[in-house]
Amino acid sequence: MKKIGVALLGLGTVGGGTYRILKQMKEDIMRTDGVEIEVLHVLERDIEKAKALGVDPAIVSTDINNVINNPDIKIVAEFFGGIEPARSFLIASLKAGKSIVTANKEMFAKCRDDLEVAAKEGNAGLYFEASCVGGVPIIRTLQAGMQGNRIQSIMGIVNGTTNYILTKMSDEGLEYADVLKEAQRLGYAEANPSADVDGFDSMYKLSILSSLCFHKRIPLDKIYREGISKISKIDIDAGKSFGYTLKLLAIGKKVNGKIEARVHPTFIKNDNPIASVKGSFNAVLLNGDNVGDIMLYGRGAGDLPTGSAIVSDIVYAAVQSEHKLSYVAPTTDEDFNTDFESEYYVRMSVKDIAGVLAKITTAFGKYGVSINSVQQNASEGVASVTFMIHNTRESAINKAIAEIKSLESVNTVDALIRVL
C-alpha cells in the first residue's frame, strides 16, 4: 500500500482538529483510498499542546528544515495564518517538491502567484480547499465538477461571524454592538473583529473563488468591499417590511464579458434560498450556463469542519500521480466593471419642512436615479425618509447621495444598502 508522509505546521484549532481526524480516519482512508497517511513531523512551539493530542514529542520541533530536508515528507499542511512565516515555509516546501495544503485564505489570496511559481519549480501540488467556506467542498466543485459550464455568477455567505451577527440582529431585534460583544464572548468573533465585520475575510475568499469561476486572476484591489459595522436594526426591520433579509454577500459575476466582484451588506428576497441560512453557517450559490443553479451549504469554520477539508486535500494530493494547477489567466483593468448596477435602499434624516422631498427627488433625478417607493415618518420637526431605488449604477447613486448630503434640509444619510 502506498504510504505518504505528512508534516503539520502548527497545532492550533484547525491543526489539532486535522491531527485528530487523520488518526480517527486512518483505517477508513487506507481501506477506501488505498493510501496510508502518516504524520512524520509537527512544527509547534507548545510541546504540551502536542502531547495533549497524543503526538510523539520526538517528531515535534520549531525548525522548518526538519520538514524541508526529510525526503519521506511528501505533503505539508499549514495552519499558522497570516502572511509570514507561512508564505516562506510553504514556498520552501514547494521548491523541495512537497505538495502543500492550506486553509490560509489571506496568504493564498495575496501570494498565489508566488506559490504557483514555486509549485511549478518543484513539480508539486497546491491544494487550498479549506481556505474558503470551511468544510464545504466548494473548491473541488469548481475545479472538478463544473467543466461542462461557463459559470455566470457566484454569490454567497462566506463568513460565519457576520452571518451570526446579522441573524441575531434580525431574529432578536438587537443592535450590532450588543451582538458583537456576545459573539466575542462565545468565540464567534475575535477580540479585533475587523477581518470579519469589515469584509476582509470575505474579500480574500471571493478573490480565490471568483478566480476559479472565471479562470481569471481577481486582484483584491478590484473587489469592492464594505462591512456590516454600520448596519442598524432599524434598517433590518425596514427590509423585513419590504420582504427582504439582510446578509453580507460575496458576489462575483460576468456581465457583458466584464467581471464584477464585490462584498457588501445586501438585501435579498425572503424566498432566495440564501436568505434562510442562519447563524454561523455558510452557503454558496453557483450559476452555470448549462446546469443552472447549484447551492452548497454547511459549516464555514471550526476545528473539525475545516480539518475535514484539510484531510480531504491531503488524501486527494496523496493519490495524485500528477499535480495540476488550476488555469487562471492574468487580467487587466479592461476585464473588470467596477461601476456595477444594483437596486438600493436609502434611509436619511431630514427636516420636516415643505419642499424637502422635492429637493431630494430633484437631486436623484439629476443623475438618472429612479425612485421606486418612498416611506416617511415624522416626529418633532424631524422626518425619517426611506427610499427604494430602481436599478441604477453605483456611480450615479453615489453622486446623487453626495449632492443630497449637501442640502441644508438634509440632516444625515444614515444608510445605503444594495438590494438584490
The set of catalytic residues is 205
Residue 75's DSSP bridge partners are: 6, 99
Give the 3-state secondary structure percentages of the chain, helix then strand then coil, rounded to 5. 40, 30, 30
Helix segments in 9-103, DSSP class H: 13-24, 26-33, 47-52, 65-68, 86-95
Name residue 82's amino acid: G
3-state secondary structure of 389: strand
Helix 26-33 to helix 13-24 angle (10° resolution) is 60
Strand locations in 272-370, DSSP E?
Answer: 281-288, 292-299, 341-351
CB atoms within 10 A of CB 354: 8
- Burial annotation 401-417 (CB, 10 A radius, 16+ → b, else e): bebbeebebbeeeebbb
Closest CA to 159 of 114, 67, 225: 225
- The two counts, helices (H) then strands (E), for the chain are 15, 16
Residue whose C-alpha is closest to residue 316's, from 20, 57, 28, 29: 29
